[in-house]
Structure 1
Amino acid sequence: MFSLYGLLDKAIKKGRLTVVDAKGVTREFGGQEPGPEAAIRFTSSSAALKILLNPELNAAEAYMDGHLVVDRGSIHDLIQVFYANKRHFDLSPSQIFWRGLSRKVRRFQQNNVLSRSRANVKAHYDIGEDLYRLFLDRDMQYSCAYFPDGPETIEDAQTLKKRHIAAKLCLKDGQRVLDIGCGWGGMALYLAHVADVEVVGVTLSERQLAVARRRAEILGVSDRVRFELIDYREVTEKFDRVVSVGMLEHVGAPHLGAYFLNVRDRLGPEGLALIHSISTKSPPGVTGPFLRKYIFPGGYSPALSETVAAIEPTGLWLLDCEIWRCHYGYTLAQWRERFLANRDKAVEIMDERFCRMWELYLSIAECVFLQGSSNVFQLQIARERDTAPISRNYIEAEECRIAERETEFLDRVVASAQQALDE
């Protein structure tokens, strides 16, 4: 009879997993090749069967509910064992079944109409800034940082990300910029200090909106940095530049075409947009059941192929495509370490079950980028082919110019986030 232990015996080749069932029987799996190791124990006799039936979701819920306990190593070690052997787990009958079912209903799962988008945002982003402050940088950047040299701190890497994006936007004084999915306002405020530009940031998170607006007031730039509680589909103004960082993942595959048509229609004749999003080297797929149910309802990281296919009918030029391979993995590793260092505070803010869920989220996401197929792309698109220089040489030069300007404003802009959150 097919069992979870049969699956583990076939799947685990790299590393080692020790399992103690609810009756105290110990089993060892793997060991053929070196790799990560962990030891777990089931406190419920039904846990193994439930995990067999739907491994990804039910294993996560078993850990969250205390039916799966990590006795040696950490939950991150266990996740690493899984990802080291993921291709074997993916061939299990239950995984094939659930993946196939998800593909059939993915248009429904990702059908982020306006009312559903608002609910999805509240489910993740409005759970309270106190939690996010435990692991994000001081500017509250909740997206992939940039690690061109590898060992940067999260604070420095997030600044490098903003600088890189600002350089690729080719900003000129007097322009108007739309920030789609502006978060706590860090990117919009940074751009407004890099150049004498007017920025409009839009979000569906009421809590993020309040912080962003207060930051603009603290910095004295409310006259040219405006934040609005509206969906990107409700924006009707024209802009010279559009920037969107970590928001495309909330659009949904059925709405990609409409999204890029909207970006096109927001751009003026010489307009340029920079779209930064999680993606994958794999063909279009589905969001895992744990992340879809507990972390990002309605979320989906589009494949590059379906993203470009959505851009082509708009008539926009794809001027540049940059792939960031390990950067988000490095970002998540620092987020996870900072979260664990503040875990007691997180339990006080939320509860133990939530913290187990959040540990899973950060660990799975880290492994997806460092051991799986996920990456990040930055697409530079425009109405005209010559809106940006025809080679990338200008990016480094512009970054150097911006870096010199940062000494005038960076500390104040970053500090405004903490001041607004403290009030």
Structure 2
Amino acid sequence: MAAARAYLAATRAALAALERNLLPDAVTRRLTRLLLAQRLRLGYLPSAPLQLHHLLLFAHALEEMPIAIETDKAKDQHYELPTTFFKLVLGRNLKYSSCYFPDETSTLEDAEVAMLELYCERAQLQDGQTILDVGCGWGSLSLYIAKKYRKCSITGICNSTTQKTFIEEQCRENELSNVEIIVADISKFEMERSFDRIISIEMFEHMKNYKALLKKISRWMKEDSLLFVHYFCHKTFAYHFEDNNEDDWITRYFFTGGTMPSANLLLYFQDDVSIANHWLVSGTHYARTSEEWLKRMDNSIASIRPIFEKTYGKESATKWIAYWRTFFISVAELFGYNNGDEWMVAHFLFQKK
């Protein structure tokens, strides 16, 4: 009990220092690694049968949940910040998800394009197809496909009017007439159309009931359609992002209602789709991506501060600068842990059943 009280007091002191932007990065990284080690101790169970049993219980429990929870809060945490902030922090394509660094000399822009190319290859895209980009963000993939495959017709679904506005501006600037953007909550959205390819990049982590979600998506697939999914994951176990303790601030401020799936979790939801291929991408790529975002943020603090003052209020700008920096550090430490061999990215290719 005394140890728990001491830990709680230390956590509160660290968070108070963080809010004033007084916590050194080395301390933040060390604390993050300690929390990650604790998560691994909780996640790894004593035997393989017990590990599998726990994963199956998790998968079955998801089927009793809504497709998504707390969607408004999750949207506000990330996607209603002004695009000007993300232009300063992300790469040229505004890809707000893991990039892929072919070698040590690759820039963030190189890595964005490398991952976008990997999607095109693994999703087996061809010119002339109809493509649905579910959870399209700032349109990094939709716009990339529209430029690469001029005869493709791309429909993107995002949950933010700021994202839709940005993508439509990019379409006008690049004279692209083959992109349509819909603002919708995917958990409630319905339509009668069908597509040759459906792609979803880092959206499933915001979802819960994968059975219901995949059933919904399958209705938008033609008979010979393919579904490509990219999500981040842990290689062995799955868990919910829950705000239960003082140290759960990533959940509280950045990932409310989120899920950390396991690398194989979607394989338990093949009622309406069947797996055609499955890949893993080392977590080192995501770690490096987030380190690059952090560098860009640090290089643009003078421009970012007024954005945060307007968004969060003048008195809270310093706190939120510290929070966003710590978020990027935490992402880098998570995916870099154990040389990228604990938390990573999984790619799936599904056929319609």
TM-score normalised by L of structure 2: 0.81
Q: Please point out which of 80, 84, 99 is paired with 2:29.
A: 80
In 2: Cα distance, 1:174 partner to 1:275 partner? 21
Q: Please point out which of 250, 257, 262 is paired with 2:206.
A: 250
The one-character-per-residue Cα deviations of 1:103-134 (angstroms, maximum 9, x if unpaired) are 99xx79x9666783244213311011122122
1:322 aligns with 2:288: no
SS of 2:333's equivalent? Answer: helix
Q: Please point out which of 109, 117, 121 is paired with 1:167.
A: 121
Opposite residue 224 of structure 2, the aligned amino acid is: E
In 1: Cα distance, 2:30 partner to 2:292 partner? 20
Offset at residue 218 of structure 1 (A): 2.3
What does residue 111 of structure 2 align with?
157
Opposite residue 131 of structure 1, the aligned amino acid is: F
Q: 1:180 to 1:87 in 2, by over 3 A?
A: closer
Opposite residue 194 of structure 2, the aligned amino acid is: K
What does residue 46 of structure 2 align with?
none
1:267 aligns with 2:233: no
SS of 1:232's equivalent? Answer: coil
1:135 aligns with 2:89: yes
What does residue 359 of structure 1 align with?
325
SS of 2:16's equivalent? Answer: helix
What does residue 228 of structure 1 align with?
182
Opposite residue 170 of structure 2, the aligned amino acid is: R
SS of 1:381's equivalent? Answer: strand
In 1: Cα distance, 2:197 partner to 2:38 partner? 44
Structure number with higher relative contact order (C-alpha < 8 Å, ≥ 6 residues apart): 2
Q: 1:281 to 1:86 in 2, by over 3 A?
A: same
The one-character-per-residue Cα deviations of 1:271-293 (angstroms, maximum 9, x if unpaired) are 01110111111312232621211
In 2: Cα distance, 1:331 partner to 1:167 partner? 21
What does residue 415 of structure 1 align with?
none
Larger Rg: 1
Offset at residue 150 of structure 1 (A): 3.6
The one-character-per-residue Cα deviations of 1:188-214 (angstroms, maximum 9, x if unpaired) are 121122222100000111100111122
Offset at residue 148 of structure 1 (A): 2.5
In 2: Cα distance, 1:202 partner to 1:146 partner? 24
Q: 1:88 to 1:270 in 2, by over 3 A?
A: closer
Q: 1:84 to 1:211 in 2, by over 3 A?
A: closer
What does residue 368 of structure 1 align with?
334
What does residue 7 of structure 1 align with?
none
What does residue 297 of structure 1 align with?
256
Opposite residue 125 of structure 1, the aligned amino acid is: Y
Offset at residue 85 of structure 1 (A): 4.5
Offset at residue 183 of structure 1 (A): 1.1
The one-character-per-residue Cα deviations of 1:313-342 (angstroms, maximum 9, x if unpaired) are 22x221111111111011011111111122
Q: 1:290 to 1:172 in 2, by over 3 A?
A: same
Unaligned regions of 5+ residues in structure 2, if any? 43-56, 243-247, 309-316
Q: 1:154 to 1:88 in 2, by over 3 A?
A: closer
In 2: Cα distance, 1:140 partner to 1:220 partner? 19
Unaligned regions of 5+ residues in structure 1, if any? 5-48, 94-102, 385-423
SS of 2:89's equivalent? Answer: coil
Q: 1:88 to 1:266 in 2, by over 3 A?
A: closer
In 2: Cα distance, 1:366 partner to 1:117 partner? 25
What does residue 2 of structure 2 align with?
2
Kept in 1: contact 2:74–2:255 (CA 8 A):
yes
Q: Please point out which of 327, 333, 348 is paired with 2:306.
A: 348
Kept in 2: contact 1:322–1:377 (CA 8 A):
yes
Kept in 1: contact 2:241–2:256 (CA 8 A):
no
Offset at residue 59 of structure 1 (A): 5.9
Counterparts in 2 of 1:395-410, with a 5 A limit?
Answer: none
Opposite residue 363 of structure 1, the aligned amino acid is: I
How many residues are treated as equivalent by the alignment? 316
Farther off after superposition, 321-330 or 210-219: 210-219
Percent identity over the alignment? 21
SS of 1:148's equivalent? Answer: coil
Counterparts in 2 of 1:103-142, with a 5 A limit?
Answer: 116-142=70-96
Kept in 1: contact 2:280–2:347 (CA 8 A):
yes
1:338 aligns with 2:296: yes
Query: Stretches of 4+ moved more than 6 A in 1?
Result: none
